[in-house]
Structure 1
Amino acid sequence: MGDENWLGRDPSGTLQEESTWPAERTPGRLDAERAHRPLDSSFVHSFKLALANDQAAGATINYVNDANEGSIYVSNPGSPRLPYPLMLFSHFPSVPSEETLRLLVNEFSEKVHPRITLLRSIPIETLTHDKVPKYLTLAMACLGCFAAEGMSSTAENMWWAANFLITATLEVDNREARKADLISAWAMLETYGALSADMSIWHRTNITHGYVETAARRLLSPSFNKSEPSRPVDREGRTDDKYSCSAVSYFVLIDVLRSIHYGLPSTLSVFELLTPTTLLNGELNSIYSCIVLDSRLPLSDVSTDSTVLALVSILTDIHTLSTVFHTLEAENSRPDKTDLTLQADREFSVFHNPYLPFSPANENRRLNQKLHKALDLWGERYLGRISKDIVALFYFSKMYLSLPSLRLLPIMAGYTPGLFKDQAANSYVMRVVDSELCDGSEALKNAWIILENIETSEDVTPVWFPVILFYASLVVWRMISLQPGPGSYGSIRVLHLFKSELEKMKWPCCGTMVKVLESLLE
């Protein structure tokens, strides 16, 4: 019986050995049961005896022999605790009534779904079917709140409720990971998480993102088309490639947006998107190969979704360049060394070749030039045929590439810090940013073009508008601060233009961004 835990069945019903790699395993109904099965009591007793007799565990023994010995050994809880995953529902947030949920889902279907790029590629009938899981209903209702009057404050409760439901559902039955509904629901929920300025939501978004990313990566895995049981399925158990492809496309966009806003590396690489057997292959692969790998004009007769995905892929490369190669180059020149080390560095610099192959500086320069060329080719082919919201995303990519330390500007402005590390603005961070801004005329020009292409007349604005507009405003702010007085880039009061546009947007992070700009204006 135990030998069958890691075995799968092929279509003929015979047992076959299965990979333990999460992206290649076929989820089973009993996965959660096996994971939470208690250990044998004799094993636990033997382990405790071994620990007590181990000399290396002396510090641990001394710890339990202190004044709190009684509280450690005596276990007398006031009330029995719920087992996991039921404990997720002990503080389950309140959600609206079924009637209100239906109204919010209708708002999503009519006003949100048609206006969000890539999300609208998911057929709405696949999302509003009677058999959709509850977490998908809550995800749609969460985004529907931003199209309904006076419902924005309700979105957070539904966001948390859907998060708990996704986690609990995967724990109870991991087969849910094969359903495209999971990827669609989380992509919508991550839209809210990526556009939030609440640190607790940022942490929870990253946690749940890891669960769903495995399901998305399974779809992008080279073994996807080889292992039929691992293919995503619809509610009737049929493979549903069209739905899955659209869901993962939007998931990729939101992953990049989350990474840039949080100041973290992207979790899905362009290499994974361009794997020969992936569902996203085809037009995307052709466009990316032409403009990035071969530096030539791509095909013109392609879908808008493919052009957007190609631009998002380039933006992913730019973000990786900023968080990896540029960080290595900046660290190499960090001025917090001892006098002896600085003297040695000066002596070494006489013989130092800045174009040394594979050095951080040379790789950063080479990739920067290649991505500049790729953006120019993308713009030459597609800029005249796309809407203004995608134009704004294009110029944000150009601004980010011309200013790799762009992700440090929110730290300097006092915006919500990045995760997992203390990112309080210090003199080193300011020197890195300001040294690049000394020749930041291109970044400043692109910042103004971004503002020019922002249109907030609709109830629901494109998901990338808050982030790219806020970063553009910070570029303008810092450039003006570096050159005050006559001959400067203008008055700091021009930030009112960015502030007024952010005030018109309903996404949850916009209020915090407005407060930051108000503090900079003071």
Structure 2
Amino acid sequence: MGAQTASVWPAEQHPTRWEAVDAHQVLSISAIERFRTALMHGEGDAVSHNAASLDLDSCLATPIAEAGSRPYTYPLIPLYGLQALLSDNEHAALCLEYCDTFGTHVYVNEISPEGIAARLNPPYLQLALNCISSAFSDSQAKTQEASSYAFPEHLFQAGSHIWLVMMEVDRRETRSARAVIAIIRRIRMTDDSPSAYTASSVSERHLVGKSVLLCYVLLIDTIHALQSNTAPNYSISELSFCMPQSGYPFQMINGALLHGQAIPNDLGNREDALALSIALLSNIIQTHKMYFGPLSVHIRPDPWNPYRPLTWRSELTNTVAVFNSALARWESHFLQKADHDVLALHYFTKLYLMVPSIAEFPSLARGDAIRSVQLAEQMVIPDEAWETAWDVFEHVDLAIKVKEYRISIWLPEIIFLSAVIVWRSHSNNGHRRRYGGLRSLVMYQNFLLRLPWPCCREMAAVLDLLSGSEEMTFPTYLSPHLPRRPPRT
């Protein structure tokens, strides 16, 4: 029997302490060029039998795929068919517009616009920045597209595919647990660090207070849940970070707000107030969607004894009372100090608690006729909700006059849904002649047209149709100002 040769199959190797060092060493230029050449080869029958081979030379010796077949193999196939990316001048113009507009958005302004727009950043991060800027800019590349969303969608897809390819081609960082731990420690998410507003120096300010990133993620998740009429992904009770302005633990302040305990007087009037308002709205949406929403649809409204314990109606009443008390405490603490865009979100949270079926309105056009009639019959709008919708209107009127507040991402959704509440109240209740009747929707329509997001034009068109309709009809509407939620895996 001949001597056994050493196997080169990775599963049969004996790991050593030097493997991590070897894995993170920079490859030679010749190896990188050979690897690039191998990626450019096709996936025809001539190379299929060498797909699992560890011999790079054997792959390079195979013929390149013909022009009619797939030109690339994975992971380069996501890059096939992408349109031409932006030129340097277009990229610089969009970066400048980002710094002047969305770079001043609440929570985002804690991240240095100059740093995030740096040319040394990875290309997928640059494309993400350009995608946001192009959504509300009037760039030449955008005006050449047929749709308002075609150009931002192209940039979003390009950045997503480039990120995927980079992660697949070079997995050294994704395999390193030390890199993940270093990132978490670097942005100080797990530390009870002081707020960036109380930092003693500029260098310290860049190291602390990074919990604003989590606040912004929570904001995006809540607006997604509101737009898609689903439960939020994040549970408020499981989030742990510091208040972005005052530095208090978030769970301590949020618990005090919900349970009637004392709240510190030095809470911030914008970032802290917005974080608590977002948490309340997220809790209300999650409570109705996950606990009481399915019950209220499938259980008949039989006679109800309010003194019978542990029924879903009793629990719903108690939960709504807790949220109403928390909203009242928020209002007593921040009403005279918070900014108008934050106050508009607060009044919309009160509106959602009064009319939890408000998020069903956009789905009326997507469902069948029977489902639409059932939803219309269940949508009982009290007079107090109608008045609260006009409170949202008043604070939005004051907010859009300030440049930094006009770009707040929650304004389009709450304006549109509040206008729909006004329309529904005028159509079914005794409010036809109050505040101008259905023609008052024109004021909401004008607000939407003054906002920079492209979805506002479609929302304004819907309100224009509703203002001349007395019947229970609803045009097709999908909020496009945020990407659709990816399917759960």
Alpha-carbon distance, 1:501 to partner: 0.8
CA separation of 1:301 and 1:359: change in aligned 2, threshold 3 A: same
1:63 aligned partner:
none
1:34 aligned partner:
none
The residue type paired with residue 127 of structure 1 is I
Alpha-carbon distance in 1 for matches of 2:432, 2:213: 52
1:426 aligned partner:
372
Aligned match for 1:84, one of 54, 74, 86: 74
State the secondary structure of the residue aligned to 1:132.
coil
Alpha-carbon distance in 2 for matches of 1:475, 1:300: 35
1:231 aligned partner:
none
Say whether 1:383 aligns with 2:327: no
1:142 aligned partner:
131
Cα shift readout 1:373-396 (whole Å, capped 9, x = no counterpart): 111111111121111111101101
CA separation of 1:167 and 1:432: change in aligned 2, threshold 3 A: farther
The residue type paired with residue 107 of structure 2 is L
1:343 aligned partner:
none
CA separation of 1:487 and 1:149: change in aligned 2, threshold 3 A: closer
Say whether 1:274 aligns with 2:243: no
Q: Which has the higher helix share?
A: 1
CA separation of 1:157 and 1:333: change in aligned 2, threshold 3 A: same
Alpha-carbon distance, 1:357 to partner: 4.1
> Contact conserved, 2:135 with 2:454, CA < 8 A, in 1?
no
CA separation of 1:126 and 1:485: change in aligned 2, threshold 3 A: closer
2:350 aligned partner:
398
2:57 aligned partner:
none
Aligned match for 1:472, one of 402, 418, 440: 418
Report the number of matched residues.
Answer: 382
Report the TM-score, using the length of structure 1 for normalisation: 0.64
> Contact conserved, 1:123 with 1:243, CA < 8 A, in 2?
no
State the secondary structure of the residue aligned to 1:266.
coil
State the secondary structure of the residue aligned to 1:274.
coil
Aligned match for 1:97, one of 66, 70, 87: 87
Say whether 1:161 aligns with 2:158: yes
Alpha-carbon distance in 2 for matches of 1:298, 1:177: 42
Q: How does 1:397-476 map to 2 (within 5 A)?
A: 397-412=349-364, 414=365, 417=366, 425-433=371-379, 436-437=380-381, 440-454=382-396, 455-457=399-401, 461-476=407-422
1:246 aligned partner:
212
Report the TM-score, using the length of structure 2 for normalisation: 0.68
> Contact conserved, 2:125 with 2:159, CA < 8 A, in 1?
yes
Q: How does 1:5-24 map to 2 (within 5 A)?
A: none
2:437 aligned partner:
491
Q: Larger Cα Rg: Structure 1 or Structure 2? A: 2
2:276 aligned partner:
310
> Contact conserved, 2:211 with 2:241, CA < 8 A, in 1?
no
Alpha-carbon distance, 1:513 to partner: 1.0
Contiguous gaps of at least 5 residues in structure 1: 14-40, 42-75, 180-214, 227-239, 336-345
Alpha-carbon distance in 1 for matches of 2:284, 2:322: 10
Say whether 1:300 aligns with 2:242: no
Alpha-carbon distance, 1:402 to partner: 1.0
CA separation of 1:357 and 1:257: change in aligned 2, threshold 3 A: same
> Contact conserved, 1:330 with 1:432, CA < 8 A, in 2?
no
CA separation of 1:367 and 1:101: change in aligned 2, threshold 3 A: same
Higher relative contact order (CA 8 A, sep 6+): 1
> Contact conserved, 2:386 with 2:422, CA < 8 A, in 1?
yes
Identity %: 23
Alpha-carbon distance in 1 for matches of 2:359, 2:279: 18
Cα shift readout 1:128-181 (whole Å, capped 9, x = no counterpart): 3343111211222222235643455443322222222233334444666799xx
Cα shift readout 1:252-281 (whole Å, capped 9, x = no counterpart): 1111111101112110110221379x9x98
Alpha-carbon distance in 1 for matches of 2:16, 2:423: 58
2:109 aligned partner:
120
2:463 aligned partner:
517
> Contact conserved, 2:393 with 2:415, CA < 8 A, in 1?
yes
